[in-house]
Amino acid sequence: LFTDEYFWTSLRNTFTIGVLSTVPQLAMALGLAHLLNYKLRGRTFIRTAILLPYATSVAAATLVFAQLFGKDFGLINYVIGLVGFDPVDWQTGTVASQIAVSSIVIWRWTGYNALIYLAGMQSIPHELYEAAEMDGASRWRQFIHVTLPG
């Protein structure tokens, strides 16, 4: 198994897609959850819109992203062409295909993870934020020292 070239290629691809999709996904989910934790107008609509990709079927998401990442007529290659670059073959290039797959994973799971983060943030007692504010902590300090450790 450890001498098989396909094993190492598969392991490298799995690790790369895992990092390319998980790190930005969790960072964006944390930011979205932090924004949704504030009293915003239309909060319910925004939460629904953020969670909608999770409720979308995998087949529908695949069809949409196949159109976006199409080599000849894809929207992303069209925009890349407007900027002056050559079209990217998203299905055969190693890095390009990993970016395409990672973007699908990010789109699909960011809202779900934001909802999980938001549930955790809403369980933090408001008194902790009030105490931090009275101690002179900025919003950033409150986020780092009150929100994240919880």
Residue ranges making up the domain that contains 115: 5-124
CATH number at residue 52: 1.10.3720.10
* Domain-located, residue 77: yes
Question: pLDDT tens across 40-72, in order?
Answer: 888 889 889 999 999 989 899 989 999 999 988
Place of tokens 């007529």: 73
Residue 148 lies in a domain: no
Q: Looking at residue 10, what is its pLDDT?
A: 93
CA-CA-CA-CA dihedral for 38, 44, 46, 47, to nearest 10: 90
Is 149 part of any domain? no
On the CB side of 73, CA atoms within 13 Å amount to 2
Residues 99 and 107 sit within 8 Å (Cβ to Cβ): no
This prediction has a pTM of: 0.85
Is 150 domain-assigned? no
Instruction: Assess if residue 101 is contained within a domain.
Output: yes
CA–CA separation, 49 vs 31, rounded Å?
A: 15
Q: What is the pLDDT of residue 150?
A: 54
- Computed on alpha carbons and rounded to an integer, the radius of gyration of the chain in Å comes to 20
Residue 48 lies in a domain: yes
Residue 28, domain member (yes or no): yes
Query: Cα torsion at 91, 114, 47, 137 (round to 10°)?
Result: -140
* Number of domains observed in the structure of the chain: 1
- Establish if 12 belongs to a structural domain: yes
